């Protein structure tokens, strides 16, 4: 399974999303496995995007935590 496939949300995989939609809308391809190769490539692309986003979020959270720790140290020194 994959998340909602809006092309605006997944710009890096836009071409694969469009290819999969075309494949699914062509005859019985959706049910015969004719789109599996495109689907697998799309899954890899979406996973790469997920990892990139996860890393960025992790770095941002780490920076916020460090800033908070510094604020708490400064606050505790004032006591």
Question: Across the chain, what does the average pLDDT equal?
Answer: 89
pLDDT band at residue 1, thresholds of 50, 70 and 90? Answer: low
Indicate the pTM of the whole model.
0.72
Tell whether the model's pLDDT for residue 29 goes beyond 90.
Answer: no
- Which DSSP letter does residue 3 get? -
Q: Would you state the pLDDT for residue 79?
A: 60
Residue 77 near residue 58, CB atoms below 8 Å: no
**Tokens 């999969």 sit on residue:** 20
């Amino acid at each position: 399974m994959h998340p909602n496939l809006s092309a605006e949300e997944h710009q890096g995989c836009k071409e694969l999303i469009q290819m999969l939609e075309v494949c699914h809308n062509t005859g019985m391809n959706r049910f015969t496995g004719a789109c599996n190769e495109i689907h697998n490539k799309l899954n890899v692309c979406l996973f790469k995007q997920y990892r990139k986003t996860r890393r960025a979020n992790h770095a941002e959270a780490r920076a916020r935590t460090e800033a908070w720790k510094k604020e708490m140290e400064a606050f505790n020194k004032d006591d």
